[in-house]
Amino acid sequence: MPDREEKEKNSLDVNPMVRSVLFACGGIMSVFSILWGLQVNSYLGIPLFKEQFLAVMLGLVLCVIFLTVRFDRKKGGPVPWYDTFLAVLSAAIMFYIAYDYRRFQIEFPFNTKEMITIGTLVVTLVMEGLRRAIGKVLFIIVAFFILYGLVGHLIPSPFTGRFSRIDSLFIYLGFDANAALGTPLTVAASIVLPFIIFGRLLVKTGGGEFFLDLAMGMMGRRRGGAAKIAVLSSALFGSISGSAVSNVATTGIMTIPLMTRSGYSSLQAGAIETIASTGGQFMPPIMGAAAFLMAEFLEIAYAEVVIAGLVPALLYYLAVFIQVDLVAARDKIKTPSKDLPKAGVVFKEGWHFVLPLLVLIFALFVLNVEAEIAALYASVVIIIGGCFRSYKGERMTIYGFFASLWEAGLVMVDLIVIVAAAGFVIGILNISSGGFVMTLFMIQLGGGNLFILLSISAIVCIILGMGMPTSGVYVLLAALVVPALVEVGVFPISAHMFILYFGMMSMITPPIALAAFAAATISGADPMKTGFESMKLGWVAYVVPFLFVLSPTLLLKGEPVHIILNVFTAAAGVYIVSVAVVGYFSRRLNTVYRIALVVTGLAAMTPDTGFPFGGIISLGGVLVGLLILGYDYLMVARKKAAVE
């Protein structure tokens, strides 16, 4: 595919020499991540600190940012001399830290002038890289925390922090394993990047098209088929990409026009794509980068996070499927059966794309290997399959292999600078006792009431998430909100999943709903209205987190009997409330019916543990809700019989 390859080569608007440097930086990042994951240095007898690896990765990322993003945040174009200087300076400083990190560790307590200078430069360069690559919102938040680290001891109670000297603070932020070179950067550079490589290899061999075609073949001929294609393809693709906005941009180009041609309004089409793409970030087996961060923060295997996220993700997509189906019935939307591929034919041609996913799942859950190693196993299977089989003429080529490496590295640039800056926040909260202060304040604000504390936490999550990437939101919330929830008795994994969900809901919640705005750009609908329509379709994501905090059975934690009962009643409740949201079952429903269904559906979703008489409430809700729907069905059937 020479035309496609040439187009990819020219995707960066910079001169050829700079483009070569960028490709080299991206490729080196991917190769280093693979080598670190395989622990090649240990086999070769070369002792390396984790911080040395991270410093190299951060230096390459800052170099890329200063070569591609101008001071005014415009991308591409000629590189000014001062940006070239900053790129070289960033790489040189971080490589120097990596080269001499052993000595710096020894000299850490002495606050040498050399370390003060380097620490100050690291903080300054990372902050400027953050501002250029991500924007003002996260820059201002991180800058606020750095300022708090300097003057927190002067702030009145209850926000009084511990005093830190400016020289000690900048050395700590630039060198310490609890700051810039800490856990978030470790996860991004050593775990997330191999999964990005896996995703890029899948796309290069035609896997992206396969999953879209498979979704079209499986769902296209059903009622509301166009929307169901969007939901299934976005769930499949989003679980690999882990980014709501990029998911919208990738799959929405095809699915949104397909939906509008079928009869969905542009507003509905944009909202459906938004909600489907956002859900991909918490859809197993490959969730977004935040899931890997969660596993690291909780110090558990990634497989445990995947298991915990399974039922909430299925409930989320169940609600979306039900609603798009009922909207199609209500609005008499046609089925786009013309020119749709057949699922059997698609699977026969691309069955080899299923093998890497099976290998990934087997490695995670049976072999219990580290997540990054499982991703590398799956990547090898993709390469082998892509060499011997093609899909629509796409197969693994030498260019495609190397392009996957440098593209994966360049895709990681934004995430790595985000988590490095988030490391500043974590470091500040540690050194200033700000984390303890925030926990105490939130508990006092909640007045000891768990529901109030959860509501406050949800609002904080959505506000902090506005205009920020999910991973950055998650790291901040894990440091600010989770300790307060855990302090009042919430299970740690429930607390982390709670902030993950509400942090991601910022993608669809106005006034700054990035995924909804991206979909509106394609559909042509009003961005704000698209956001509110997305909220209506995604209502379950605002409810289920409260339920799995109050009873972690929906995270598959607890007695099997309670888990089975609560999953069943939750699914029934989701169905009942979804009918009420659309306002249609066998016919259009009036307001009284809809209110009754909302009440009974929410009652059905009530877990039997964590509530007094929870089992009676949930089973009663299921029974009454089904009776209401059954009565409506019988009334319509009688009217039809009378007419006949």
Task: Assign 582 a pLDDT band (cuts: 50, 70, 90).
Answer: very high
At 244 the pLDDT is 73
Which range has the worst mean pLDDT, 250-264, 303-317, 378-392, 535-549?
Answer: 250-264
At 8 the pLDDT is 38
Segment 442-472, tens digit of pLDDT: 777 777 678 888 888 888 877 776 666 677 7
- Give the list of residues 6+ apart from residue 211 with CB closer than 8 angstroms, or none: 233, 236, 237, 353
At 80 the pLDDT is 93
Which is more confident, 228 or 289? 228
- Give the list of residues 6+ apart from residue 396 with CB closer than 8 angstroms, or none: 201, 204, 205, 382, 383, 385, 386, 387
- Alpha helices by DSSP H, listed for 466-513, are 470-480, 482-487, 492-504
Segment 524-544, tens digit of pLDDT: 888 889 989 999 999 998 999
Peptide bond before residue 80 is cis, with ω within 30 degrees of 0: no
Are 580 and 629 a contacting pair, CB within 8 Å?
no
- Give the list of residues 6+ apart from residue 537 with CB closer than 8 angstroms, or none: 271, 272, 275, 319, 320, 323, 324, 581
Distances (CA, A) of 535 to 268, 358, 541: 12, 33, 9
| Token pair 């892509």: residue | 386
Dihedral of the alpha carbons of 126, 128, 132, 138, in degrees to the nearest 10: 70
- What's the chain's average pLDDT? 86
At 230 the pLDDT is 83
Task: Assign 238 a pLDDT band (cuts: 50, 70, 90).
Answer: low
Distance CA 600, CA 371 (A): 41
Is residue 349 pLDDT above 70, yes or no?
yes
3-state SS, residue 391: strand
Which range has the worst mean pLDDT, 128-137, 219-228, 366-375?
Answer: 219-228
At 241 the pLDDT is 57
Distance CA 485, CA 488 (A): 6
Q: Full-prediction pTM beyond 0.85?
A: no
At 104 the pLDDT is 92
At 240 the pLDDT is 61
Roughly what angle, to the nearest 10 degrees, separates helices 450-465 and 434-446?
130
Is residue 40 pLDDT above 70, yes or no?
yes
Give 580's Cβ-side CA count (13 Å radius).
Answer: 23
- Give the list of residues 6+ apart from residue 631 with CB closer than 8 angstroms, or none: none
Chain-centroid distance, C-alpha 286: 10
- Give the list of residues 6+ apart from residue 607 with CB closer than 8 angstroms, or none: 547, 550, 551, 553, 554, 562, 566, 569, 570, 614, 618
Task: Assign 13 a pLDDT band (cuts: 50, 70, 90).
Answer: low
| Token pair 């057949």: residue | 342
Q: Would you kindly state where each structural domain of the chain is located, as residue ranges?
A: 2-184, 194-400, 561-644
Identify the burial level of 456 via C-beta atoms within 10 angstroms of its C-beta, where 0-12 means exposed, 13-18 middle and 19 or more buried.
middle
Is residue 356 pLDDT above 70, yes or no?
yes
| Token pair 């080569």: residue | 9
Segment 466-492, tens digit of pLDDT: 666 677 778 888 888 888 888 888 899
Are 478 and 496 a contacting pair, CB within 8 Å?
yes
At 399 the pLDDT is 92
At 239 the pLDDT is 63
Distance CA 61, CA 126 (A): 10
Report residue 488: phi and psi, to 5°: -95, 10
Task: Assign 332 a pLDDT band (cuts: 50, 70, 90).
Answer: confident
Segment 82-139, tens digit of pLDDT: 999 999 999 999 999 999 999 998 888 888 999 999 999 999 999 999 999 988 888 9
Give 348's Cβ-side CA count (13 Å radius).
Answer: 5
Segment 431-441, tens digit of pLDDT: 887 777 777 77
Which is more confident, 400 or 450? 400
Distance CA 474, CA 517 (A): 21
Which range has the worst mean pLDDT, 136-145, 211-220, 269-278, 521-530?
Answer: 211-220
Query: Which range scores top for mean pLDDT: 144-153, 157-166, 425-434?
Result: 144-153
57-85: average pLDDT: 93
For the chain, percent of residues with pLDDT exceeding 90 = 40
**Long-range contact list for 43-52, CB < 8 A, 24+ apart?**
49/101, 49/102, 49/105, 50/177, 50/181, 50/186, 51/97, 51/98, 51/101, 51/175, 51/177, 51/181, 52/97, 52/98, 52/99, 52/101
Per residue, the 3-state secondary structure of 412-453, as one string, reads: CHHHHHHHHHHHHHHHHHHHHCHHHHHHHHHHHHHCCCHHHH
At 336 the pLDDT is 62
Distance CA 156, CA 442 (A): 16
323-332: average pLDDT: 90
At 338 the pLDDT is 63
Segment 373-389, tens digit of pLDDT: 998 999 999 999 999 99
At 130 the pLDDT is 93
Distance CA 416, CA 106 (A): 27
The CA-CA-CA angle for residues 623, 625, 627, to 5°, reads 70
362-370: average pLDDT: 88
Distance CA 170, CA 174 (A): 6
Is residue 5 pLDDT above 60, yes or no?
no
Q: Is the dihedral of CA 261, 263, 269, 272 positive or negative?
A: negative
For the chain, percent of residues with pLDDT exceeding 70 = 95
Question: Which has the closest alpha carbon to 292: 277, 281, 305?
Answer: 305
Give 261's Cβ-side CA count (13 Å radius).
Answer: 12
Report residue 412: phi and psi, to 5°: -80, -5
| Token pair 């699977």: residue | 347
Segment 155-195, tens digit of pLDDT: 887 778 788 888 899 999 999 888 889 888 998 899 889 98
Question: Which has the closest alpha carbon to 201: 392, 54, 375, 458?
Answer: 375
- In eight-state DSSP terms, residue 334 is P
